[in-house]
Structures are given as structure tokens and as C-alpha cells.
Chain A
């Protein structure tokens, strides 16, 4: 069965360190998204990609970067982790067109703590 996975599921790091969160999907979806979820804010879009070598900034992109070298993966990098980036991070994917392109499929999430 197709799926979307994230790793690690939990991460503790220190302020100033570079951290990369992995996202891998086997849906063969062109669209991929990264969100962060904090109490009182719901899900906020960090970066998104509509295909290989395409990346776009979302509403809370400062301090984060992504790259898309293949269809399956969209890693999220925190260049220099800050305590304000302590959050739960979700990756999602969706079709580029067709009946189901409004439906996003979410990974299980990564809980990141920055000390």
C-alpha cells in the first residue's frame, strides 16, 4: 500500500544545530507540503513543492529550507535550530490533478524539541 513516512518521529536538539527532517511518499504525488502544528495555531504551511526541483515558501518559512531532487522525498532543514521551532512537523502530499487533488495525505509527524 502507498504511504507517507516521516523520520525521525521524535528529535531533541540544541539551539544553533542544523536539523533535517525526512519525508518520503510512495503515492507518486507531485505535490508535497511541510506544516508545523502548535497549540492555538492549527497547521501552518512552511514550504511546498509542485514537482522535482520546484520549491515555494509558505506562511512561516523563515529559518527553514527544502529541496526536491526526486518525486518521493521532500526533506525539511532547519539551518540553525531555535527554541521557537519546537513543534510538531507534518509532511503531506497530494495529486497534481484529478478527482482527489484536493485531498492531502499526511505523514505521522515528527515531534521536534529544541533546547
Chain B
């Protein structure tokens, strides 16, 4: 079967750094993606890791370790607008564009 685990909630202070972890169990792993979703909105793509290591996009970075079946999303210089839910999602060999999503981590940024 397939499973993804991520914390249900995280709270952090504005200006701080927060890390959202994602562990997965799946056959035929191809890559790990991250999506952001504000309340009432649609998910939007943040990043993709197909290879081990760190991918950086502005204030956001994402990391993957295939050997540990583990990844994380790192958000730096947190802003109030970063308060949202964050989903990790795995893609699979043979159907690489099809995603299986985790249940999401709700990030609350406070003053």
C-alpha cells in the first residue's frame, strides 16, 4: 500500500524558520512534490524533488532523501501570508504525473 505521514499542525512565529516533514511508504517511488493551500482556495504547486538533495525557490526549500523515504519543506522568514495547509505528494514510476497526497499540515504563523 501507500502511505504518507506529515504533522497535522505546526505553529511558528513571524520571521522564524519552520520545517514540515513528510515520510512515505510506497512502491515505485518517483518523486516528491509540495503544494500550498490557503483556506477556501485551491492547492498551488510549490516544489518538486526527483533526486536526493535540496531544491531552493526563494524563501521555500524542499529536501528529499530516497534512502530514508523522507522529505521536508523548509519555510524561511515566515510571513503571516504563509499561514496555510501544506501537502506533500508522491508520484510513482510508470504513472509519474499521478499524485498521491498526504493529509496535510496546517501552518499557523503568529506575531
Q: Is the C-beta of A45 less than 8 angstroms from some C-beta in chain B?
A: yes
Residues on B with C-beta less than 8 A from A94 are 97
Q: Is the C-beta of B71 less than 8 angstroms from some C-beta in chain A?
A: no
Residues on A with C-beta less than 8 A from B98 are 33, 45, 48, 58
For this complex, 30 residue pairs linking A to B, each with C-beta atoms less than 8 Å apart, are A31-B97, A33-B98, A33-B99, A35-B101, A40-B103, A42-B87, A42-B101, A42-B102, A42-B103, A42-B104, A43-B89, A43-B101, A45-B98, A48-B98, A50-B97, A90-B42, A92-B43, A95-B97, A101-B97, A102-B50, A102-B96, A102-B97, A103-B33, A103-B45, A104-B43, A106-B42, A106-B43, A107-B42, A108-B41, A108-B42
* Chain B interface residues toward A at CB < 8 A: 31, 33, 41-45, 48, 50, 87, 89, 91, 96-104
Give me the 9 closest cross-chain CB pairs, A-B, nearest first.
A106-B42, A42-B103, A43-B101, A103-B45, A102-B48, A42-B101, A31-B97, A106-B43, A42-B104
